[in-house]
Structure 1
Amino acid sequence: MVGNLFLNLYFLGILAIGYNSFKKIKDSSYFFIANREAGVLQVTGSLLATVLGSSAILGNIAATYSIGWAGIWLLFCAAFGLLTLLPLLKKFEQFKGYNLPELLGNFYGNEVRILSSLIISIAWIGIVAAQIMGAAQIMEIISDFSYIKSVIISGIFFIIYTILGGQLSIIKTDCFQLIFILLGIVFCFLFLPNLETAYVAPNLFNEKFNYMDLIILVLTYSSTFLVGPDIYSRIFCAKDSSVAKKSIIISIIILIPLAFILTKIGIFAAGAYPNLTNGQSPLLHVAANTLPKPISLLLYFGLLSAIISTADTCLLTASSIFTEIFTKDLKTMKSIKVTRIFISVFGIFSILVALKLKFILSSLLLALSVYSGSLIIPCFMGILGYNFKKNYVLAAIVLGGGVALLGKIYDGPNSNYILIFAFVINALTLLLGRKK
């Protein structure tokens, strides 16, 4: 099968880059932050490739298919989150650590670092699982593999690739993968027939998506770009704050038109194929039934690139953060070995979650809700220079994350209010422990 051949060649090419980076790992800074040598092109490419995973592309179009133009808010909220990050960049210039929990540890102490490491590591399994689910859906189409086999193969590939080169290989391949991503999306848009007949008047709010839903999306999604371990891992790879700033601005400029393109594709899918079930991806259905074969193949590999670039970043983030609980310091060669072990462990757990869950966006939003409800406010306040008693910070993290988890599990008519309450109780607990 031609698809199998292309898929094998693609995977071998990515693994070759990973192996080449593996040989260049000189110390822990190469493995975890690419030796802080990334320029504007590399940081921009890596930021966008990380943002544009299966949730942003497949999830955006699936949301648009269901709720109309309101689906555009997903990428708008991502761009807004990056915009709010810009004023904070100067705050990171003196930080010499490798990840977000280290930053929290500097603010509030070792116990907070350990607790935040546990939360992020566990929550990020859901995000990696979402990418594996997306990869499996695409591999089913490209190759003759079943969904279960595709989940296992893609998961193993993510594990091996991340183990090899760490951040050094990720930062190198993200720009290459971003080209595939952008070409796939743009050509899909350009080759859709009769787009003008699929016109629906833009309505950013409707009975399926209201102002309260937008508030929740900002709290649980935009906030992860303002304070997010994967985004920060890109920033920490940059040569300086000027490189990081330019990269974020370019990323925002690219995300805005992409939001319109993806939403328009979703509107087209809703008009052309109105009877898809929840288990069917509108974008993949459009690619298989509407686009010319060469364009659909380009789109499939663009999506696969998007998924890989997000999965490897998230897998490394979760594993390295968890490693630090035991090694207490990532600046050793031993920490690389331990991280590689945890990459395998977290990768296997992500495969199991991907086999259990059915919906990409629900997996992602569950993970992000727990993370944002527990850690966004403490980290943001710490960056701004506020200080709180350690026990109150720990309580705020547990209460905020626990209530956010209940809100997502309950998933009833009042779930949005429960999620908002998670942020309120998190903030109030912190304020009670503010140091004079």
Structure 2
Amino acid sequence: MIYLWAIIIYLIGLLLVGTWFYKKIEGSKSFMMADRGLPWWVNSGTMVATYIGAGSLIGGSALAYKVGLSAVWMDAGGFLAVLALVFIADKIRNFEGYSTPDILGVRFNNATRLVASLIIIAAETAIVGYQMKAGGYVLNVAAGIDPKVGTIISAIFIIGYTMIAGLLSVAYTDLIQGVTIILSLLIGLPFVLQSAGGLSSFLSHVSPDKVNIFGGSFYDAMKVMFPTFCLVFVMQPLWQRIFASKNIKESRIAVIVSLPAIIFIVFVLVFTATVGAELFPGINGDSIIMHVAKNALPPLVGIIMLAAAVAIIVSTGDSMLLSPATNIIHDIYQTFINPKADDRRVLLYTRLTVLILGLLAYIQVQFFPSILAMVIYAYTMEGGLAPALIASFFWKRATAAGGFACVLSAGIITIVWEALKQPFGIGTVFPTIFISTAVLIIVSLLTPPPEESKLSRFFPDTFAS
């Protein structure tokens, strides 16, 4: 029970912090964008905590449990995507938007905004869903609670906390959780090695394939690396944190500082899962990190690592739940239904939307066999927006018709390819990205060039007055 009580105390602490920031929320801009006032040191922490979710804790670790250190390739695409964001952070912050469909709506048209919003809602509710399921695993390992019951408990907390918090609170609690994650892994890593009899003993007993970071085929690496790159590059919560930075300079610093922390956390999680596979063969790989924390480490260290697992789940869950709520309210309600809605109503509807999306996320998680399956689906779905977003900032010839066709085709191809169970064994991300990119180019070249008014915010140097 000591593990359960530690988790409860940790969550109560988060609620207290969230309640304190709740009093500082003055309107919808505070709730959605933290008043565009996040300093780089807070923003880097929330970027780390948002990136490292159940996709890494559960999906990536389950893959590492199966194949070993080569599982790091699943996140290698994410590392490259964060690096790419360093170079366009100034463009993103300068736009001063609320969401990625906000950018697509201005650059192309509101039809593109609508389709992109629907894609993000579908993808990110899936991501919220597997945070809830991961919470069920943590409670199962910590206290023997049935995973289904644990998932319900996790869902209630994530939904309730996000409704209270908003981005202002989420950002500062994410900073705390990011620090918790890093410190727990720094403390826990030596004990993980010790539990395996030391590094030399572990290496002498483990299969060479498991410790070969270049194990597996190039296609296998690309199959997990490419979806991660596409998702992380367009991951709306990361763009929203750049939007919410104090200024352009601090937005770039925040992204730069977050990258080494993300790389460190991913490598330690993959290594821990690889060691865990040798210590505890034959168990469900989804829960290997929690299993190591409880059964292979001293109680105090295990408690700290389980607290980190909770931090990983909550910090990504709240961010991914707030993100599509912004799409529904800002990109759909305020754009198509009630452009003149008063701020008080917008804030209320945003909180109600968080509740509804949270319930949909819980329902959605029931239809996937594993968290890894949900990870790949969600990453590919949202990652399909990458060609249109890249073209927004880097290809002046991209037209409204081309952007709309690109985004629509990406969504359709993802759904159809998944429904067909990935024909010929080809991962969904490949036809999604390649076909939607081809559609963007062909349709844009067959339609009249965009007007200068559509380009001036994206190419200010070219169209400066």
Which range, TM-score by smaller chain? over 0.9
Equivalent residue, structure 2, for 1:381: 391
Equivalent residue, structure 2, for 1:367: 378
Equivalent residue, structure 2, for 1:419: 429
How far off its partner does 1:286 sit? 1.8
Distance 1:417 1:225, change over 3 A: closer
Equivalent residue, structure 1, for 2:354: 343
Q: Is the 8 A contact 1:369 1:408 kept in 2?
A: no
Q: Is the 8 A contact 1:108 1:387 kept in 2?
A: no
Deviations 1:144-183 (A, max 9, x none): 5322221111111111111112001101101111122112
When structure 1 is superposed on structure 2, of 398-407 and 126-135 the one drifting more is 398-407
What's the secondary structure of 1:308's corresponding residue? helix
Match of 2:271 among 254, 264, 272: 264
Match of 1:300 among 298, 303, 306: 306
The answer to whether residue 344 in structure 2 is matched with residue 333 in structure 1 is yes
Equivalent residue, structure 2, for 1:283: 289
How far off its partner does 1:356 sit? 4.1
The answer to whether residue 210 in structure 2 is matched with residue 213 in structure 1 is no
Q: Is the 8 A contact 1:407 1:415 kept in 2?
A: no
Q: Is the 8 A contact 2:55 2:375 kept in 1?
A: yes
Mind listing any 5+ residue stretches in structure 2 that lack a counterpart?
450-465
CA–CA distance in structure 2, aligned partners of residues 58 and 116 of structure 1? 27
When structure 1 is superposed on structure 2, of 319-328 and 330-339 the one drifting more is 330-339
Please give the root-mean-square deviation of Cα atoms over the aligned residues, in Å: 2.1
How far off its partner does 1:228 sit? 1.8
How far off its partner does 1:137 sit? 0.7
Deviations 1:327-351 (A, max 9, x none): 2259833221111111000101111
CA–CA distance in structure 1, aligned partners of residues 121 and 248 of structure 2? 27
Give 1 or 2 for the bigger CA radius of gyration. 2
Q: Is the 8 A contact 1:227 1:380 kept in 2?
A: no
Distance 1:177 1:339, change over 3 A: same
How far off its partner does 1:44 sit? 0.7
The answer to whether residue 323 in structure 2 is matched with residue 320 in structure 1 is no
CA–CA distance in structure 2, aligned partners of residues 414 and 161 of structure 1? 43
Equivalent residue, structure 2, for 1:190: 190
Equivalent residue, structure 1, for 2:368: 357
The answer to whether residue 143 in structure 2 is matched with residue 143 in structure 1 is yes
What's the secondary structure of 1:152's corresponding residue? helix
CA–CA distance in structure 2, aligned partners of residues 128 and 402 of structure 1? 22
Scaled by the length of structure 1, the TM-score of the pair is 0.93
Equivalent residue, structure 2, for 1:74: 74
How far off its partner does 1:72 sit? 1.3
Deviations 1:101-150 (A, max 9, x none): 11111110111111111110121111001111111111122235322221
How far off its partner does 1:7 sit? 3.1
Equivalent residue, structure 1, for 2:213: 204
One-letter amino acid matched to 2:99: N
**1:161-176 mapped onto 2 (5 Å cutoff):** 161-176=161-176
Q: Is the 8 A contact 1:151 1:355 kept in 2?
A: no
Match of 1:233 among 226, 234, 240: 240
Deviations 1:347-389 (A, max 9, x none): 011112234434222112111112212x110111102243433
Q: Is the 8 A contact 1:28 1:331 kept in 2?
A: no
CA–CA distance in structure 1, aligned partners of residues 342 and 50 of structure 2? 24
When structure 1 is superposed on structure 2, of 17-26 and 143-152 the one drifting more is 143-152
Count of aligned positions: 432
Equivalent residue, structure 2, for 1:179: 179
CA–CA distance in structure 2, aligned partners of residues 40 and 271 of structure 1? 40
Equivalent residue, structure 1, for 2:453: none
Q: Is the 8 A contact 2:387 2:406 kept in 1?
A: no
Q: Is the 8 A contact 1:75 1:255 kept in 2?
A: no
Distance 1:351 1:432, change over 3 A: same
One-letter amino acid matched to 2:378: A
Scaled by the length of structure 2, the TM-score of the pair is 0.87
CA–CA distance in structure 2, aligned partners of residues 281 and 409 of structure 1? 28
What's the secondary structure of 2:312's corresponding residue? helix
When structure 1 is superposed on structure 2, of 164-173 and 286-295 the one drifting more is 286-295
Distance 1:411 1:288, change over 3 A: farther
Equivalent residue, structure 2, for 1:41: 41
